[in-house]
Amino acid sequence: MSKPKIGWVGLGNMGTPMVNNLLKAGFEVNVFNRTKSKEQALVEAGASAAESPPQLVQHCDIIITMLSDDAAVKEIFEGTNGLLSKPQPGKLFIDMSTVAPETSCYLAGICARLGLGFIEAPVSGSVKPAQDGTLIILVGGSAENYEKAKPVFDVLGKLSLLLGESGKGSTAKLAINYLLALNLQGLAETVLFAEKNGISKQDMLTIINEGACANGITKLKSTSILNDDYPAAFALKHLVKDLRLAKEAGLDAPLITPLYDAFNKAQQAGFGNEDVMAIKKYLESNQ
């Protein structure tokens, strides 16, 4: 059975390695990015570049978007010369961006009225899992469309889960990113408290990572803390957006407001383009 032709919109830190994995797996991929220079490396790796979103739709069976926020996703779908400006019934659209559940439901409704398939599929994982093809893919939509997309998901991730109708995948993504933020701030506060009281961060991180409190995030972020260097695997500004979306979606747990406020203030203080673990730098600067 021949592989579907894939169209891909959005070649940021996540999109580029994900497309590379599809190319390595033998998929024909047509890419579109507003900053055209970001297409070049993928074209050299075997992708083709579309001149416009409608051209991408015309030549592909499955069209995937991986963009920064709700506004960017709605613009690429509905804007002048957007993906839906020349709809072709039967195509399947997959939005892998992290957006509000209501945005996923809204796009699903539009696509249904146009005779198009749509599923949401945000991912849990940052740049390294994207490079390794070990993302966890959180899917909302119909079982039929999930089955069509599964060969693609099997390349991009180690696990994909169909969680229910549109909106469920986005809800799960906001939930896991709330837990991520709790882990990050808890790790930062723990190390800062230890340092303030004469315990080195090296020793404190060893205590954490060799004990029951260790997890993937504490181990992954230890190198950044030790080097006090925070290149963005997942930019802090994006986590601020996700926490805001979680609040707007109804998350009213006791810790959400102080957690959101801390990350939002870190962004306002100039740490937005650094990695999420740069919350430690912000908290340290305000001790």
What residues are labeled active site?
A: 173
Number of other residues whose CB lies within 10 A of the CB of residue 271: 24
The C-alpha angle with vertex 74 and arms to 71 and 75, in degrees rounded to 5, equals: 80
Q: How far apart are CA 24 and CA 46, in angstroms?
A: 9
Give residues with Cβ within 8 angstroms of 275, minimum separation 6: 221, 224, 230, 231, 232, 233, 234, 235, 236
How far apart are the C-alpha atoms of 38 and 17, rounded to whole Å?
12
Tokens matching residue 141: 């939509």
Q: How many CB atoms lie within 10 A of CB 213?
A: 13
Q: How many residues make up the chain in this entry?
A: 287
Beta-carbon contacts of 84 under 8 Å, excluding residues fewer than 6 positions away, are 77, 78, 110, 111, 114, 116
For 249-253, which contacts have Cβ atoms below 8 Å and span 24 or more sequence positions?
Answer: 249/100, 249/101, 249/102, 249/171, 249/174, 251/174, 251/175, 251/178, 253/178
- 86 close to 116: Cβ distance less than 8 angstroms: no
